[in-house]
Chain A
Amino acid sequence: MYDVIVVGGGHAGCEAAYACAKKNHNTLLITSNLKNIADMPCNPHIGGSAKGIVVREIDALGGIMGKVADKTHLQIKMLNYAKGPAVRALRAQGDKVTYPKEMLNILNSLKSLEIKEGMVEDLIIEDKKVKGIILSDGTKIEAKIVILTTGTYLKADILVGNTRTRKGPHGEQPSNYLSDNLKKYGFKIIRLKTGTPQRIDKNTIDYSKLKMEPGDSVYHTFSFDLEPSYKIEDQLPCYLTYTTEETHKIIRDNLNKSSMYGALDDIEGIGPRYCPSIEDKIVRFADKEKHQLFVEPESKYYDDIYLQGFSTSMPHEVQEKMVHSLPGFKNAKILKYGYAIEYDAINPTQLQASLETKIIENLFTAGQINGTSGYEEAACQGLIAGINATLKLEGKEPLILKRSDAYIGVLIDDLITKGIRDPYRLLTSRAEFRLLLRHDNADLRLRKYGYEVGLIDDERYKKLIKKEKEIQELKEYMATTHLKIDEETKKKFEENNISLPVGSLTLGNLIKRPEINMKFMCSLIDIPFMENIQNQVEIELKYEGYIEKAKKEAEKMLKLEKKQIPEDIDYDKIKNIASEARQKLKEVKPRTIAQAIRISGVNPSDISVLSIYLKKEYGKDE
Chain B
Amino acid sequence: MEDTICAIATSSGIGAISIIRISGEDAIPIANKIFKGKDLTKVPTHTINYGHIVENDKVIDEVLVSVMKSPASFTTEDVVEVNCHGGIATTNKVLELLLTNGCRLAERGEFTKRAYLNNRIDSLEAESVMDLINANTEIQRKMAINGLEGKVSNLINSLRADMVEVISNINVNIDYPEYDDVLEITNGVLSPKIKKVKEKIEEILKESENGKIIKNGINIAIIGKPNVGKSSLLNALIEEDKAIVTDIAGTTRDIVEGVTSIKGIPLNIIDTAGIRKSNDVIEEIGIKKSLEAIDKADLILFMLNNNEEITNEIIELFKKVKEKKYIVIINKTDLPTEIELSNLELEENEVIKMSIKENVGIKELKEKIIELYDLEEIENKDLVYLTNARSISILKECLNKISEVESGIENNLPIDILELDIKAIWEELGKINGTTYEEELLDEMFKRFCLGK
Q: Are A and B genuine complex partners?
A: yes
Interface residues of A (CB under 8 A from B): 42-43, 49-50, 79-80, 82-87, 196-197, 213, 272-277, 280-281, 284-285, 288, 290-292, 294, 308-309, 311, 427-430, 435, 514-515, 543, 546, 550, 556, 559-560, 575-576, 600, 603-605, 608-609, 611-612, 615-616, 620
**Neighbouring A residues of B113 by C-beta, 8 Å:** 608, 612
What are 13 inter-chain pairs, A to B, with CB distance below 8 A? A49-B176, A83-B415, A84-B414, A86-B417, A274-B452, A284-B450, A292-B180, A294-B178, A435-B417, A546-B420, A576-B134, A608-B113, A612-B129
Residues of chain B in range 335-365 having any CB-CB distance to chain A below 8 Å: none
Question: Are A197 and B175 in contact, CB atoms less than 8 angstroms apart?
Answer: no
Mark the stretch among B268-276, B319-327, B439-447 that contacts chain A: B439-447
**Neighbouring B residues of A50 by C-beta, 8 Å:** 175
**Whole-angstrom CA separation of A122 from B347 in the bound complex:** 92
**Whole-angstrom CA separation of A435 from B416 in the bound complex:** 9
CB distance from A581 to the nearest CB of B (A): 11
CB distance from B341 to the nearest CB of A (A): 54
**Neighbouring B residues of A428 by C-beta, 8 Å:** 171, 174-175
Interface residues of B (CB under 8 A from A): 1-2, 107, 113, 116-117, 119, 123, 126, 129-131, 133-134, 137-138, 141, 167, 171, 173-181, 411-417, 420, 437-439, 441-443, 445-446, 450-453
**Whole-angstrom CA separation of A615 from B420 in the bound complex:** 36
Q: Report which of B411, B412, B416, B445 forms a contact with A80, defined as CB distance below 8 A.
A: B416
**Whole-angstrom CA separation of A87 from B416 in the bound complex:** 7
Q: Report which of B176, B411, B437, B451 forms a contact with A600, defined as CB distance below 8 A.
A: B437
**Neighbouring A residues of B176 by C-beta, 8 Å:** 49
Q: Report which of A42, A213, A427, A560 forms a contact with B442, defined as CB distance below 8 A.
A: A427
Question: Are A281 and B442 in contact, CB atoms less than 8 angstroms apart?
Answer: no
Q: Report which of A79, A272, A609 forms a contact with B130, defined as CB distance below 8 A.
A: A609
Question: Are B126 and A612 in contact, CB atoms less than 8 angstroms apart?
Answer: yes
**Neighbouring B residues of A87 by C-beta, 8 Å:** 174, 416
User: Among the interface residues B130, B175, B417, B441, which one has the most CB atoms of the partner chain A within 10 A?
Assistant: B175
Question: Are B2 and A559 in contact, CB atoms less than 8 angstroms apart?
Answer: yes
**Neighbouring A residues of B412 by C-beta, 8 Å:** 514-515
Question: Are A576 and B131 in contact, CB atoms less than 8 angstroms apart?
Answer: yes
Question: Are B414 and A83 in contact, CB atoms less than 8 angstroms apart?
Answer: yes
CB distance from A109 to the nearest CB of B (A): 33
Question: Are A80 and B177 in contact, CB atoms less than 8 angstroms apart?
Answer: yes
Question: Are B439 and A612 in contact, CB atoms less than 8 angstroms apart?
Answer: no
**Whole-angstrom CA separation of A430 from B171 in the bound complex:** 10
Query: Given A605-B134, A615-B116, 15 other A-B contacts at CB below 8 A?
Result: A43-B453, A79-B178, A80-B174, A80-B177, A197-B453, A273-B443, A273-B446, A274-B445, A280-B452, A281-B450, A294-B178, A514-B411, A600-B439, A612-B113, A615-B126
**Neighbouring A residues of B415 by C-beta, 8 Å:** 83-84
Q: Do A309 and B452 form a contact, CB below 8 Å, given A600-B439, A609-B134? A: yes
- Nearest neighbor of A575 in chain B, beta-carbon distance: B130
**Neighbouring A residues of B437 by C-beta, 8 Å:** 600
Q: Report which of A84, A291, A556 forms a contact with B2, defined as CB distance below 8 A.
A: A556
Q: Which 7 A-B pairs have the closest CB atoms?
A: A84-B416, A84-B414, A605-B137, A514-B411, A576-B134, A273-B446, A275-B452
**Neighbouring B residues of A311 by C-beta, 8 Å:** 452-453
Q: Report which of A49, A80, A276, A612 forms a contact with B450, defined as CB distance below 8 A.
A: A276
**Whole-angstrom CA separation of A560 from B3 in the bound complex:** 12
- Nearest neighbor of B182 in chain A, beta-carbon distance: A292
**Neighbouring A residues of B138 by C-beta, 8 Å:** 605
**Neighbouring A residues of B126 by C-beta, 8 Å:** 612, 615-616
Q: Report which of B133, B178, B417 forms a contact with A605, defined as CB distance below 8 A.
A: B133
**Neighbouring B residues of A82 by C-beta, 8 Å:** 414
Question: Are A429 and B177 in contact, CB atoms less than 8 angstroms apart?
Answer: no
**Neighbouring A residues of B174 by C-beta, 8 Å:** 49, 80, 83, 87, 428-429
**Neighbouring A residues of B178 by C-beta, 8 Å:** 79, 213, 292, 294
CB distance from A551 to the nearest CB of B (A): 13
Q: Report which of B129, B180, B453 forms a contact with A308, defined as CB distance below 8 A.
A: B453
**Neighbouring A residues of B445 by C-beta, 8 Å:** 274, 427, 429
Q: Do A49 and B177 form a contact, CB below 8 Å, given A83-B414, A273-B446, A605-B134? A: yes
Question: Are B452 and A427 in contact, CB atoms less than 8 angstroms apart?
Answer: no
**Neighbouring B residues of A291 by C-beta, 8 Å:** 181, 450
**Whole-angstrom CA separation of A309 from B416 in the bound complex:** 26
Q: Do A608 and B133 form a contact, CB below 8 Å, given A80-B416, A429-B445? A: yes
**Whole-angstrom CA separation of A615 from B137 in the bound complex:** 20
Q: Do A514 and B413 form a contact, CB below 8 Å, given A273-B442, A609-B134? A: yes
Q: Do A429 and B171 form a contact, CB below 8 Å, given A85-B416, A546-B417, A576-B134? A: yes
**Whole-angstrom CA separation of A435 from B424 in the bound complex:** 14
CB distance from B374 to the nearest CB of A (A): 38
**Whole-angstrom CA separation of A263 from B441 in the bound complex:** 33
**Neighbouring A residues of B175 by C-beta, 8 Å:** 49-50, 427-429
**Whole-angstrom CA separation of A402 from B342 in the bound complex:** 74
**Neighbouring B residues of A85 by C-beta, 8 Å:** 414, 416-417
**Neighbouring B residues of A290 by C-beta, 8 Å:** 181
Question: Are B417 and A609 in contact, CB atoms less than 8 angstroms apart?
Answer: no
**Neighbouring B residues of A429 by C-beta, 8 Å:** 167, 171, 174-175, 438, 441-442, 445
**Whole-angstrom CA separation of A213 from B180 in the bound complex:** 13
